Amino acid sequence: MKKILVIGGGFAGLASSVFLSNKNLKVALLESSPKLGGRAYSILNTKQKSFYDNGQHIMMGCYKETLDFLSIINSQGLLDIPSSLSINFVKRGGELALLKASQYHYPFNLVKAILNFKGLRTKSRIKIIDFFLDLLCCYSCDLKNKTVIMWLKEKKQTEESIKYFWEILVVGALNTKIEKASALIFAEILKRIFFDGNQSATIVISKVGLTELYVEPSIKFLTEKGSELKLSEKVTKFETDGNKIVRVLTEKNIYENFDYIVSAIPTYALSRILENSKIKSLPIPNLEYSPILNVHLWLENNPFTEAFYGLLGSHIHWIFNRGDHISITISSAESLMNCSDEEILDLIYSDLEIFFPIFKPSLVKDFKVIKEKRATFIPDISSVYNREEINSPFDNLLLAGDWTNSFLPATIESAVLSAKQVLDKILEKQ
């Protein structure tokens, strides 16, 4: 039986281990921290006796590989998967602008949903529909050297639609500004969301925290398959012989008996291992990273009624209602990384009062502010070229992670897709 070492226990590492174990391959997973989950896990607020996620990680109906992964570990039933697109956008003063499609007559239901979207004037809505019609005929070579803002202006999108529609989509999906974001990567996202069936455009919400959704079920699945899970075991060095890695050194052990290594760690972590190993032949893309700010508020008598909201013209991009608390997401939050918790809360409270007259700061009984300074890489034009150059020079080293060449931005889906690609490559070599 083939034995695979998987380095890293985040989404990419756990998904790789699950996919490989599901094909009856022997897996040993090495994780440097004392927990699994990587950058997507749950934390216990002991004061409130409530779990919250380190960040609200959005999933969508078009996340085919993610849904397949969750199905294998038997946790797909923990998701709320709507039958069609429905997003509550909120204007100043609390006015709702619903972007909602019916369950029937796809894709015309999406056209009707945009035409009925009261968050924009009629001219802007028509221009958006024109844009999507053009996208059906769009060739990737036309977009490779364009930013999203260049593309939108070329397609004559109104300033209103850019500010209140496109910016929200770009910042939410790519975690960067439209002036930086690659048009090519954004086009791939739009095609998957809007041109791949009715359910693809839906926002998928987990009924439980991330640890309960995928970490604990993965542990159970891997344990039952006889996989080894080694925590607090940091890989420090590779030893090579020709075009193969023959030893993996950790702070505790030396591993020699393996057929393949799957590196499922971020670029900066892999770079450190290669540097210690004096390996220079593996091209690691030079990616710039962007932060995400997440603020969790526990409320007395939570007045929010919907599962999630998108805010039009606010510092806040998304609000997710978790019942006993709400989770607030601000993407591409470079300007807030050096602010104190008090300054951040003042900004959050101010916007909440403007957009939700039902909200008062006195409702807040506890809070947690989480700054993910290197949450995702920035999917700009240079990243498209840099990711194309990723190619392992070692026959037995495979790369997984949201930064690998999946043609997607840094999302849960790109991490899981990279794990599926690893499985396919190993099966091809058997």
3-42+208-286+379-429: CATH, from 3.20.20.70, 3.40.50.1820, 3.30.70.980, 3.50.50.60 = 3.50.50.60
C-alpha to C-alpha distances, 307 to 82, 118, 227, nearest whole angstrom: 12, 20, 37
- Tell me which CATH code domain 98-198 carries: 1.10.405
pLDDT at res. 141: 60
Residue 356: the pLDDT is: 97
What residues does each domain of the chain span?
3-42+208-286+379-429, 98-198, 289-377
Which own/partner contact pairs does 273-279 have at CB distance under 8 Å and 24+ positions apart?
273/235, 273/236, 273/237, 273/238, 274/238, 276/236, 276/237, 277/237, 277/238, 277/239, 277/240, 279/238, 279/240
Q: Which residues of the chain have pLDDT under 50?
A: none
Q: Please give the helix or strand (H or E) that residue 29 lies within, else none.
A: strand 26-30
In the numeric block, which tokens belong to residue 420? Answer: 């599926």
The phi and psi torsions of 114 (rounded to 5 degrees) equal -70, -40
Contact call for residues 332 and 377 (beta carbons, < 8 A): no
Question: What pLDDT shows up at residue 280?
Answer: 81
* Phi, psi angle pair for 121, to nearest 5°: -75, 165
398, two tokens: 């495979």
169, 128 Cβ separation under 8 angstroms? no
Query: Which pLDDT value is given to residue 285?
Result: 87
Predicted local confidence at residue 327, as pLDDT: 96
- Angle subtended by helix axes 216-224 and 11-22, to nearest 10: 30
pLDDT at 140: 55
Residues 289-377, CATH architecture: Alpha-Beta Complex (3.90)
Give pLDDT, residue 237: 96
> CA 344, CA 346: separation in Å to the nearest integer?
5
pTM, two decimal places: 0.94
In the chain the first and final C-alpha atoms are separated, in Å, by 11
